[in-house]
Amino acid sequence: MHKQYPVNRVHVTQSSEHTKALGPGGTPSTVPGYIRVKCLGLFALRNPYEPAPIPEGMQCKRGYLCSGALPLRPHPRPETRGIAPHRQVTQRADQDMFIALSEAIEDFGRKGGDHLTVGTSCFEKHGTGLFSTAPSKKTCRGEICHVHSSDGSLHLTLHPLDAREVLESGWGERHPISRGGIFERFVPKGFTMVYAPQNDSEVAVVLEIVKAATWIIR
């Protein structure tokens, strides 16, 4: 059984100044954009560390990551804030670590041949994103993941069983509005934040999670 980490409060209500302080995101830094985020905050998950229920048809299947495949993350969970943008405010990656992670993902994309490509994130409208050229579900042009330059965290979409492995190992949390249904017009149901790596060995773990996100979309 996975170790359960202390639950830090996730802040989803904030002023427009606090929203801007999180760095650029997919929502414009305008009054309408701020109102939109405030409205979405009314529907935010109460506990983003709790895995989503596994659909009945998937309960006997496997994800990309085997149970126990990820080591326990050796840090308490960072504090996170916001919805769009949704960012870490503690345990941020420094510039060198952000570059190392970005280069690792870009290298993985190049080695994917014709199946993968690197471009500007569709969700964020800026920054680097990894894409599938033939996605099984064309959500945001087949985007697999994107890295946030402001904190070094990532967003990606995972199989429910892989999302559970990531959450229970302490490597990430669900996006506040990854509820599915009508909210899929904003983010996919399995949309997950993966915390910023703090060293090279953690970059390798995060890359394994990116591979899991690649597996489900192809």
Q: Which of 149, 146, 152 is nearest to 120 (CA)?
A: 146
What is the model's pTM?
A: 0.83
Which amino acid is it at 160? P
Type and span of the H or E element at 20 = helix 16-21
Q: What is the pLDDT of residue 178?
A: 93
Say if 5 falls within a structural domain: no
Long-range contacts of 34-38 (CB under 8 A, 24+ apart): 36/84, 37/82, 37/83, 37/84, 38/13
pLDDT in tens, 99-113: 999 999 999 999 988
pLDDT in tens, 63-118: 999 878 899 999 999 999 999 789 999 999 999 999 999 999 999 999 988 999 99
Say if 7 falls within a structural domain: no
Q: How far is CA 26 from CA 33, 86, 167, in A?
A: 10, 10, 24
Q: What is the pLDDT of residue 34?
A: 65
Is pLDDT larger for residue 9 or for residue 201? 201
> What counts of helices (H) and strands (E) characterise the chain?
5, 8
Rounded-to-integer distance, Cα 22 and Cα 199, Å:
22
Say if 11 falls within a structural domain: no
pLDDT in tens, 123-147: 988 888 999 999 987 789 999 999 9
Whether pLDDT at 50 is above 70 = yes
What average pLDDT does range 27-43 have in this prediction?
66
Q: What is the pLDDT of residue 5?
A: 45
Rounded-to-integer distance, Cα 8 and Cα 77, Å:
7
Q: What is the pLDDT of residue 30?
A: 64
Say if 112 falls within a structural domain: yes
pLDDT in tens, 152-199: 999 999 999 999 999 999 999 999 999 888 888 888 999 999 999 999
Say if 202 falls within a structural domain: yes
Q: Return mean pLDDT, the chain.
A: 85
Say if 8 falls within a structural domain: no
Specify the 3-state DSSP secondary structure of 175.
Answer: coil
Written as six digits, the tokens of 64 are 């990309």
Say if 1 falls within a structural domain: no
Tokens 């916001």 belong to 82
Per the rule left: phi > 0, alpha: psi between -120 and 50, beta: everything else, 161 is alpha
Q: What is the pLDDT of residue 103?
A: 96
Q: Count up the domains in the chain and report the number.
A: 1
What average pLDDT does range 41-46 have in this prediction?
80
Rounded-to-integer distance, Cα 38 and Cα 66, Å:
37
Query: In terms of residue numbers, what domain contains 101?
Result: 16-214
Indicate the DSSP class of residue 195.
Answer: P
Give the model's confidence band at 29: pLDDT under 50 very low, under 70 low, under 90 confident, else very high: low
Give the model's confidence band at 57: pLDDT under 50 very low, under 70 low, under 90 confident, else very high: confident
Say if 9 falls within a structural domain: no
Indicate the DSSP class of residue 209.
Answer: H
